[in-house]
Amino acid sequence: MTADHIAAVLPAQALIAPAHWHTAEFISDLHLDPAEPDTLAAWRAYLRTTQADAVFMLGDLFEVWVGDDTLNEPGSFEAEAAAVLHEAAQQRALFFMVGNRDFLAGTQFLQRSGMTGLSDPTLLVFGEQRILLTHGDALCLDDVEYQQFRAVSRSPAWIQHTLSQPLAARRALGKAMRAESQMRKETGVGYADVDTGALLQWMDATHSHLCIHGHTHRPADHVLPPDADGMARTRIVLSDWHMDASTRRAEVLRVTPQGWQRLPFHLSTC
C-alpha cells in the first residue's frame, strides 16, 4: 500500500469537542490481559482517578479481542473490563479506536462499555487545535507483510468468517497470537515506524497540525515539516503501558487548549 493510496482512502470523520471540555487525555497500547495484573490495576486506577473531561483510548487497549460474544461468558475478563469502562463512562466521555490487536471489538462492546467508537483516523477539533488521531498501524508502510494482512483482515468477509468460528477456536487463536508477540519481543524485532510522507498527506487533507498515535511503542515528540502556510506541525507517539516488567512504564498524554504534556502514571500514588 502506497502513501498515495493511504491518502486517497482517508476517512473524513471529525469530532468537535464540546465547549465545556478543558482537558482531554490519551492512552494507547495497554495490551490488557489477565496475565498482566499490575497493568490492569494501573488502568483501573487511572480511570477511577483522572479528572479529564474526556479519555481517548487509541487502540490495542487489549492484548487480543476475539469477538464481542466473550462478553456473554459469566465472569470473563472481557465482561469485567467492559464493566470497568461502563463505570468510568458515567463520570466522563470515553472514546475508543481499535488497534491491530483489538480490531474485532464491535458494537456490543461499545454499548456494554459506554464508550463512543472512533474511525481511524479521526480529526479532533479541540478549541483552536485540529488534532489527527490514529492508532498508527495503517501508516507503517514499510511493514509490507502486515499491511497485506491488515487489508484482508479488515474486510467484512474476513471478519464475518472469523467471528463465525467457535469461541474456543478463536480463544486458541488469540493464545497463539500472544505467544507470537512474546517471541517477537524476545528476539528484539521492533515495529516499523510511521511513514512521514503518508502522515503529512493525512495532515494536509485534514488541515491538522498535531497528530497523536500509538502502535510503535516508541514514545516521542517529533517535529514535522511545516504546512504550506508555514504553520508548525508535530507528531506525538503515545507510550505503551507495561507495569508487570522492570520498565514499569505507563504514561498519559494530557491535552488542553493551551498545549500538551506527558504525565507518568504511578500506581503507588493512587
Query: pLDDT tens digits for 190-204?
Result: 678 999 999 999 999
Q: The cell 507510550 sits on which residue?
A: 239
List the chain domain ranges.
Answer: 3-269
Share of the chain above pLDDT 90, in %: 81
Quick check: helix, strand or coil at residue 45? helix
Q: Nearest 5 degrees, angle CA 236-CA 3-CA 234?
A: 20
Position 1 pLDDT exceeds 50: no
Sheet-wide strand order for 54-58: 116-117, 93-97, 54-58, 24-27, 251-256, 259-264
For residues 220-225, average pLDDT: 97
Q: What Cα–Cα distance (Å) separates residue 208 from each residue in 76, 129, 144, 181?
A: 40, 8, 27, 33
Predicted local distance difference test score (pLDDT) of residue 219: 96
Predicted local distance difference test score (pLDDT) of residue 223: 97
For the whole model, what pTM was predicted?
A: 0.93
User: Residue 109 class from Cβ within 10 Å (0-12 exposed, 13-18 middle, 19+ buried)?
Assistant: buried
Position 267 pLDDT exceeds 80: no
The span from the CA of 197 to the CA of 267, in Å, is 38
Q: pLDDT confidence of 5, banded at 50, 70, 90?
A: very low
Query: pLDDT tens digits for 159-186?
Result: 999 999 999 999 898 888 777 766 766 6
Grid cell of 220 as nine digits: 516521542
Query: pLDDT tens digits for 228-251?
Result: 999 999 999 999 999 987 878 999
Quick check: helix, strand or coil at residue 178? helix
Class assignment of domain 3-269? alpha beta
Buried b (16+ CB within 10 A) or exposed e, 79-103: eebbebbeebbeebbbbbbbbbbbb
The span from the CA of 75 to the CA of 42, in Å, is 20
Query: pLDDT tens digits for 59-87?
Result: 999 999 999 999 999 999 999 999 999 99
DSSP secondary structure of 188-199: T--PPPPPHHHH
Quick check: helix, strand or coil at residue 10? coil
Return mean pLDDT, the chain.
Answer: 91
Cβ distance 121 to 139 under 8 Å? Answer: no
Q: The cell 491535552 sits on which residue?
A: 255
